[in-house]
């Protein structure tokens, strides 16, 4: 081949090796991470990934992509690079920060996975962090006045809870009663998963600091309310609209937490003796009207299915981010899936465990990977979420343990 000839490339299979997360905390001065830095949460995840995968030499990590929605303070300064250095990875390992609001970690995965498939990387770490106690969503933001003055979006598009109320308006059959029932089921499923030991092994204990109480150890999620009842939810106020539908009980809370995962080319994982938790099939992102951003996962899922040649009936497990119960219900109704379908969030979701914005995508993936290990009867699974300013994201995965693979 002459020096001027371009070498033909073939894409490589990308696998999800392992995922971890910190326990999720409640944002605010009394939360478990009130005096813990956001970047230290990420560092803890990176170190734990390397500890759990000793067959991976640190210098084989080719990239670290960490997402944050509010990239200032202790979750600014190109956090992918700074967290990699703080975690003790070689200085030769580069890193960067990424932002797609709630789908930050999801986008960190799809972006680095694309680089792996293309051959630019062999191994990457992707994840996200959000310390909403230190940095409330929108802190320091200066929206261009043209958004409202030129009616590019309605003012409600910039308030996520208001977009959920708009969704109730658009689909009046998605009642508050249905949303509350879904929320109660999320709490119950999460509690059952913890009791059965299904949620817990992926958690990374975090040393926490308090000037008054000294050092502590965060080892369990703080947000869940296992005693939640329909009666209790019916009495909660609706902060985004008088006599509305969205409450603190049928929506995810304000939370702090971080996630991280290892991705690799399948052939490299085999070479290094790394486990294969799941195989990337395809993904899709889509834009929708910002005023009803909760419908975003519908077109993103349709796009991902069309591009992979699959249908919704091929999907055996769904991990849907529960930013608001109503947006999950909109997705389920569109695809003809029952509110209580056992394939959907079998271990509960963000209404119970919390939603530290940019970190949540990798939580969904880590749970799906662990479910795949228990379910060889399932071939395909899906992780999806709505995204602020009117978007949706969907990633489809294949179970390497699928029993039909050997037939």
Mean pLDDT of the region 1-13: 73
Residue 23 main-chain phi, psi, to 5 deg:
-55, 145
| Total Cβ atoms within 10 A of residue 64 | 28
Q: Is residue 167 part of a domain?
A: yes
pLDDT digits (tens, 9 = 90+) for 20-32: 999 999 999 999 9
Q: Is residue 127 part of a domain?
A: yes
Q: What CATH number does residue 97 fall under?
A: 3.40.47.10
Residue 214: alpha-carbon gap to chain centroid: 31
Q: Is residue 387 part of a domain?
A: yes
Q: Which residue has the higher pLDDT, 4 or 290?
A: 290
Q: Is residue 7 part of a domain?
A: no
Arithmetic mean of pLDDT over the chain: 96
What pLDDT is stored for residue 406 in this prediction?
A: 64
Domain span including residue 388: 14-134+153-398
The answer to whether the predicted template modeling score (pTM) of the entire model surpasses 0.85 is: yes
Q: Is residue 141 part of a domain?
A: no
Q: Which residue has the higher pLDDT, 140 or 374?
A: 374
Tokens of 400: 């390497």
* pLDDT over threshold 60, residue 74: yes
pLDDT digits (tens, 9 = 90+) for 190-236: 999 999 999 999 999 999 988 988 999 999 999 999 999 999 999 99
What pLDDT is stored for residue 155 in this prediction?
A: 85
Q: Is residue 234 part of a domain?
A: yes
Distance CA 339, CA 322 (A): 13
Q: Is residue 327 part of a domain?
A: yes
* pLDDT over threshold 90, residue 38: yes
pLDDT band of residue 3 (cuts 50, 70, 90) is low
Tokens of 295: 């419908």
Catalytic positions: 102, 355, 386
Distance CA 9, CA 6 (A): 9
Number of domains forming the structure of the chain: 1
* pLDDT over threshold 60, residue 1: no
DSSP secondary structure of 354-394: ---GGGHHHHHHHHHHHHHHH-TT--EEEEEEEETTTEEEE
Q: Which residue has the higher pLDDT, 364 or 10?
A: 364
Distance CA 120, CA 140 (A): 35
Distance CA 125, CA 135 (A): 24
pLDDT digits (tens, 9 = 90+) for 94-141: 999 999 999 999 999 999 999 999 999 999 999 999 999 999 988 888
* pLDDT over threshold 90, residue 158: no
Q: Is residue 404 part of a domain?
A: no
């Amino acid at each position: 081949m002459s020096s001027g000839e371009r070498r033909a490339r073939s894409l490589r299979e990308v696998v999800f090796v392992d995922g971890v997360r910190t326990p999720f905390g409640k944002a605010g001065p009394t939360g478990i991470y009130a005096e813990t830095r956001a970047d230290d949460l990420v560092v803890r995840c990176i170190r734990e990934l390397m500890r759990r995968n000793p067959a991976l030499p640190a210098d084989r990590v080719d990239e670290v992509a960490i997402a944050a929605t509010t990239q200032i303070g202790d979750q600014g300064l190109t956090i992918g690079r700074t967290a990699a250095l703080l975690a003790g990875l070689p200085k030769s390992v580069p890193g960067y920060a990424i932002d797609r609001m709630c789908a930050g970690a999801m986008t960190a995965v799809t972006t680095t996975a694309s680089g792996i498939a293309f051959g630019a990387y062999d191994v990457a770490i992707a994840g996200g962090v959000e310390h909403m106690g230190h940095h409330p969503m929108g802190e320091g933001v200066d929206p261009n006045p043209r958004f409202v003055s030129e009616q590019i979006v309605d003012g409600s598009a910039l308030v996520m809870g208001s977009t959920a109320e708009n969704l109730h308006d658009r689909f009046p059959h998605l009642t508050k009663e249905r949303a509350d029932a879904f929320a109660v089921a999320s709490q119950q499923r999460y509690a059952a998963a913890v009791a059965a030991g299904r949620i817990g092994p992926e958690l990374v204990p975090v040393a926490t600091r308090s000037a008054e109480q000294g050092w502590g150890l965060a080892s369990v999620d703080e947000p869940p309310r296992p005693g939640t009842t329909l009666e209790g939810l019916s009495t909660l106020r609706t902060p985004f609209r008088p006599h509305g539908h969205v409450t603190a009980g049928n929506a995810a809370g304000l939370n702090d937490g971080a996630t991280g995962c290892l991705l690799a080319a399948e052939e490299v994982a085999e070479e290094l003796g790394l486990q294969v938790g799941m195989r990337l099939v395809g993904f899709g992102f889509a834009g929708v009207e910002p005023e009803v951003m909760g419908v975003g996962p519908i077109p993103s899922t349709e796009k991902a299915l069309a591009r992979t040649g699959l249908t919704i009936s091929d999907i055996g497990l769904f991990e849907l981010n529960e930013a608001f119960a109503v947006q999950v219900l909109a997705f389920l109704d569109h695809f003809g899936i029952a509110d209580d379908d056992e394939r959907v969030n079998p271990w509960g979701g963000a209404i119970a465990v919390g939603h530290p914005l940019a970190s949540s995508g990798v939580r969904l993936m880590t749970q799906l990977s662990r479910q795949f290990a228990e379910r060889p009867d399932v071939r395909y699974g899906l992780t999806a979420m709505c995204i602020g300013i009117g978007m949706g994201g969907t990633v489809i995965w294949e179970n390497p343990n699928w029993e039909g693979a050997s037939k």
